[in-house]
A and B are shown apart, each in its own frame.
Chain A
Amino acid sequence: ETGVTQSPTHLIKTRGQQVTLRCSSQSGHNTVSWYQQALGQGPQFIFQYYREEENGRGNFPPRFSGLQFPNYSSELNVNALELDDSALYLCASSLRTGEETQYFGPGTRLLVL
């Protein structure tokens, strides 16, 4: 059984650019959630996808968007990057929306210059 994987591991972008981060969920998991972890902070919930539909969103602007594919992998897209978007982006998968145990990937560290 493979765990949650994310790509790329590190990324450098400039302000105003767009970025796409990718996540492969743990085998059999149909729910994927994305979190932003700024330096020195705990993760903050961005949104969740269940069976290819957004199923809950945190306090993030619309320029943060996502997709989930039929194989339950997921993308996080961020448009018009701002300096404050620099953070570790974590993906977590779980078996169903009510499952209280999520399995986290290692994250993608994004630096916006």
Chain B
Amino acid sequence: AQSVTQLGSHVSVSEGALVLLRCNYSSSVPPYLFWYVQYPNQGLQLLLKYTSAATLVKGINGFEAEFKKSETSFHLTKPSAHMSDAAEYFCAVRRPDSSASKIIFGSGTRLSIRP
């Protein structure tokens, strides 16, 4: 079975500061891992995905995540926060041999940016 745990339901950083959103996963097989962003009143947008290639994955809007098997982690980072990054972020996992829709989401982390 697969699951993800997002540490911290709310993270607040200053504009220009490092963004670090934590995600730990559990999977019985090598997983595919994803980060999605959800802006208010919008659907989910894929930020980046790990599908067993390079362990450091670069996504849109300057975000990146590193797959660390030894720590079962897939933390999301951005060197310098921008006001437009304020949103809800979801980490997700699925088996490589399963359909794209059978994806398990974490409970989300709300990112706030202080001026």
Contact = CB atoms under 8 A, between A and B. Distances in A.
Interface string B46-73: 1001010000000000000000000000
Interface residues of B, number: 22
Interface residues of A, number: 26
Nearest to B6: A42
**Dominant secondary structure at the B interface:** loop
B25 interface: no
Nearest to A47: B101
A88 B43 CA distance: 10
Interface of B: 9, 32, 41-46, 49, 51, 90, 92, 94, 99-103, 105-108
Interface of A: 4, 31, 33, 40-45, 48, 55-56, 58, 90, 92, 94, 97-102, 104-107
